[in-house]
Structure 1
Amino acid sequence: MKLSVKSIGQLAVPAATVALLFQLYWLRQTWLTARQSFRATATECLQKAYDAAMMSNLGHIGRTNDSLQQMNISSSINFEELEDDENETVEQAAKRDSMINTLAARLHLDTGKSHSIPVPNVEYAQMSNILSRMFSSFGLQLVHIDSLQHEYRLLLHEKNIDLPFRVYTDSTLTAVKSNPQLLLIHPALNTQTNTIGVLFSGETIYLLQQIFPAIIVSFFIGLLIIGCIWTLWRIIVKQKKLEQMKQDFISHVTHELKTPVAVLQATNEALLNFGGSNSPEMTTRYLHLNKTELDKLQGLIDQIMTITRLEQQLHQRQTTAMPLEESLSSIIQRFAYQDNVHVQIDNQSGHNSIETDKQAFEIIFSNLLDNAIKYNNKPQKLITLTIKDNRDRILITVADNGEGISNSHLPFIFDKFYRVTSGDTQDTKGHGLGLSHVKALAQQLQATVEVNSTPGTGTTFTLQFPRYAKN
């Protein structure tokens, strides 16, 4: 078992560690994917919003529905509205004027009028992008921030992104340029002029909401892995304890068998070889001693066989109506001969009989009384059997004033072969079968058994029997 526990631990711990690390890696990749998708969508929407705002400022409608995007459309330019911007530099103004004059000359247009430029067989999105890039390349400041923010907000809403944001231009980008969450676009074709940036508030919370299902799945998978490892470990520990208890049981039984056999051999040899048979008094004494030892052997064998029959459910119980207080009194009489043992009955029930199996009932309370006496080092061993009514059930408690049982042992005292081996109880003879026998018989009688103990004060066993036999 030691090799088995060690081997399972060497396999389970690395396997659980790898599984949990994989869950963390998967969550990280999911986060990065969601972040990359968000930034790509936000950047694309910013470029589209800039194009729409540019076309709107040129005199054309800024946004169009899907039915217009496949039509042959015309873009109108009002040269009179392309006035000097007070924020542009002399160099930018020169580039703007040069672009306007070049465009008007090639199209044979008057710069003092508004003209429509037909663009056949070009989708609106493509046309707006081309024109906005063209105007931006010449350094024209044709996009108003309010218009850009409005268009951007509408596009983000279509993508189900409702985060607060702030748009930055060349003149305001310096203060936030080092922010890793800043998104940038460069509308110009060949230059880095007219750079547009945007910063979102609450981006991290938004991304966590997007991957929240993945977090929940990963969390439950992690709990499942930890739960499986914990359950496996508990099973291994329990099996190890069971093996140790079996070894202790074999040791105790072997000791119990050796003692009667040694006594029987000694008495038999005395009778045969030392003339004991010629003395009636010695013969009688030895025969009584042999009978006592044989009774012990028979009791041990009967107890083991009873446990085996209970596990295999070979013994059928016969329920009969039996007087309750009278039955308990007859059981108490078996222990009345012992010194300093006082057992009393406190009958608070309004019913005098119970339907149950007589033999199983007597075995249950014989074992409980035997334990209450055997594991009690007080000068006066006081035991009280209390009978109460609890609706359709009979409640019987067995309370003693012994040393009690610590909480660490209580969950295991009904396990087969388990013995409390602390304090003075380790020198008390037993095999760890009595309480397991009690629980098995109680289950056969549809009864429940519970235990409550306070170290130094005593222990109380509570049994609830059905008042009438169940079919």
Structure 2
Amino acid sequence: MKLPFKLIAILVFFSLLGTFVYQAYWLTGLYSTMKHDLEQNIMEAMRTSDYNEMMLRVEGLQKDNENHGEVKVSAGYDSDTGKSFVNSTTTIDRKDTIGKASKEEFFSEEEPRAALHTDGGLDLILRNKSTMLELATYFQQGLHSGLDIISDPDVAVYDSLLSHQLLDKGIDLPYHLEYLYSGFKPDSSHVFTDTIASICTPGYEPSPKAAQYNYAFDIHSNKVYRLTMEPINKLVLRQMSGILATSFVILIILSFSFWFLIRTILRQKTLEEMKSDFTNNITHELKTPIAVAYAANDALLNFNLAEDKKQREKYLCICQEQLQRLSGLVEQILSMSMERRKTFRLHPENFHLHDLFPTLIEQHKLKADKPVEIILDIEPEDLTITADRTHFSNILSNLIDNAIKYSPEKAEIVIRCRKTETGQVEISVSDHGTGIPADKQPLVFDKFYRVPTGNVHNTKGYGLGLFYVKTMVEKHNGNVTVKSEPGKGSTFTIRV
């Protein structure tokens, strides 16, 4: 079952469109996922940096403990009272002028967050990664509340740690870091926010589109690290550059493949039409000489014309001409089929061009149905060529035959033979015929192709002659070109 070309084109178009849409949907989903992961990485970098900064402070306090006494910080949940607590104990060296030890203990009436959602017990918490992270964050905030009483957060250290954490996660954007404290006025009428510290990448000024990431590191979310940086869209696209490039190449290959498929189908369709035209044309051309020869032979046999010598010779000449025409037609068709065979071989020999042209010119003058004038210009006169004599003769014969057929009332043809600087032999056949439009010139060497002439069919042809010329010239390791202008004629040039 043959599908109409329009249906095939529509199916190909929608297949390609579906591929593009699916690829765009997949890339959009991937972009959203990578952007979300990158934002999570930023928050995780802030949390990890805060933990590391806190541990560095603890190490510093431990060193002070060795020199001056004892420092303890603890946070947790009192099962007896049902309250969460943060306490700290500081023992100062006896040499200290104040010489006092202090102990502070803070209790919260709030039920501890770590125990709020534990219907399934501790085992459920440990199996839930998000709950585990929440629990770890809560413990970290609890330790902060106790540690910050003794030692304030070091924003410079936190900035250094955060910079390394971001770089480790592939985030190399400039940023602005702030340490903020939020609280209420004594009468609880207004919320205020103080900027305790601010650090910025040198030369960076946040734009109006800059994104902010807030990390609250105390239990009541009063103390916040605020990170301001430009939108991470470009960074996500940069990380996706390999995938985007691969997808683009795949889409280009698919587009080219579909284009090539459509082009091949169109060429096959055109070829089918040309073959159909060739079959119709060649059938008519084969029938004509057969019918004429049959009529002449019938006249000789059935009308006693064989007894009249003059009439007999006339009808025998008609038969001979038609049989020659038929033979030439069959020979041309056979040549087209033979040149494709693997067993096809040329038999090159060296011969003078001056010995080849006179016979060809005379033959074409005799069989032409119009006046023919052919000018032959060979320089030097003893110019030789190495080629298969039979096929090369057919090449030149086809070019001369075309020049005569497509010339008006009188055919004026110029044949020039020269030797180029590269050592090749150049042969050009020029006429003053109808010419070939510029857009049709690249197609004249295609098999079965004939230049469209509308409804005018004065010139007989099969679309094989120039295809044969091009094929045989290429088998001689040469090339053939055409220069033409409608109404002024054409020039075919062979270089071998």
TM-score class, shorter-chain normalisation, is: 0.7 to 0.9
- Is 1:452–1:461's contact at 8 Å kept on the other side of the alignment? yes
Q: 1:400 aligns with which of 431, 434, 449?
A: 431
Distance in 1 of aligned mates of 2:381 and 2:408: 35
One-letter code of the match for 2:34? A
Shift, 1:228, TM fit: 1.1
Over 3 Å counting, the alpha-carbon distance change for 1:267 and 1:342 in structure 2 is closer
Q: CA deviation at 1:134?
A: 4.5
In structure 1, what is the equivalent of residue 87 of structure 2? 103
Report the equivalent of 1:370.
Answer: 401
One-letter code aligned to 2:167: H
Number of corresponding residues: 419
Q: Per the alignment, in what secondary structure is the counterpart of residue 166 of structure 1?
A: strand
Deviations, residues 57-83 of structure 1 (Å, cap 9, x unaligned): x67559xxxxxxxxxx78979xxxxxx
Counterpart position of 1:45: 45
- Measured after TM superposition, the shift of residue 367 of structure 1 is 0.3
Deviation at 1:275, TM superposition (A): 4.8
In structure 2, relative to structure 1, the CA distance for the partners of 1:200 and 1:276 (3 Å cut) is same
Percent of counterpart pairs with the same letter? 28
Q: Does 2:316 align with 1:306?
A: no
Higher helix fraction: Structure 1 or Structure 2?
Answer: 1
Match of 1:67 in 2: none
Partner of 1:149: 159
Mapping for residues 21-420 of structure 1, pairs under 5 Å: 21-53=21-53, 60-61=59-60, 103-104=87-88, 107=89, 130=139, 132-135=141-144, 142-143=152-153, 145-168=155-178, 169=180, 171=193, 181-189=211-219, 191-201=220-230, 203-277=232-306, 279-337=308-366, 338=368, 339-348=370-379, 352-377=383-408, 381-420=412-451
Match of 1:17 in 2: 17
Q: For the Cα contact (< 8 Å) 2:90–2:103, is it kept in 1?
A: no
The normalised TM-score by structure 1 is 0.76
Rounded to whole Å, the distance in 1 between the matches of 2:399 and 2:341 is 23
CA-based RMSD of the aligned residues comes to 3.9
Contact 1:52/1:128 (<8 A) preserved: no
Distance 1:202 1:455, change over 3 A: farther
Q: How does 1:416-435 map to 2 (within 5 A)?
A: 416-422=447-453, 426-435=457-466
| CA offset digits 1:299-328 (Å, max 9, x no partner) | 111111222222225454322221123323
Per-residue CA distance 1:93-142 (angstroms, 9 max, x = gap): xxxxxxxx9735xx37579979999xxxxxxxx99984554445999894
**CA contact under 8 A between 1:325 and 1:352: conserved in structure 2?**
yes
Distance 1:172 1:356, change over 3 A: farther
Determine the C-alpha separation between the residues in 1 that align with 2:353 and 2:396: 12
- Higher relative CO (Cα under 8 Å, sequence separation at least 6) belongs to 1
Partners of 1:420 and 1:352 lie apart in 2 by 34
The Cα shift of 1:354 comes to: 1.8
Aligned residue in 2 for 1:468: none
Larger deviation, residues 263-272 vs 357-366: 263-272
1:144 Cα deviation from its structure 2 partner: 5.9
Contact 1:55–1:132 (8 Å) recurs in 2: no
Give the equivalent residue in structure 1 for 2:203. none
Structure 1: give runs of 5+ residues left out of the alignment.
63-72, 78-100, 118-125, 466-471
- Paired residue for 2:132? none
Residue by residue over 1:392-443, the C-alpha shift from the partner in whole angstroms, topping out at 9 and shown as x without a partner, is 3222222333332223323332222111123687431011111121122223
From the two aligned structures, give the one with the greater strand fraction.
Answer: 2
TM-score by length of 2: 0.72
Shift of 1:297: 1.3
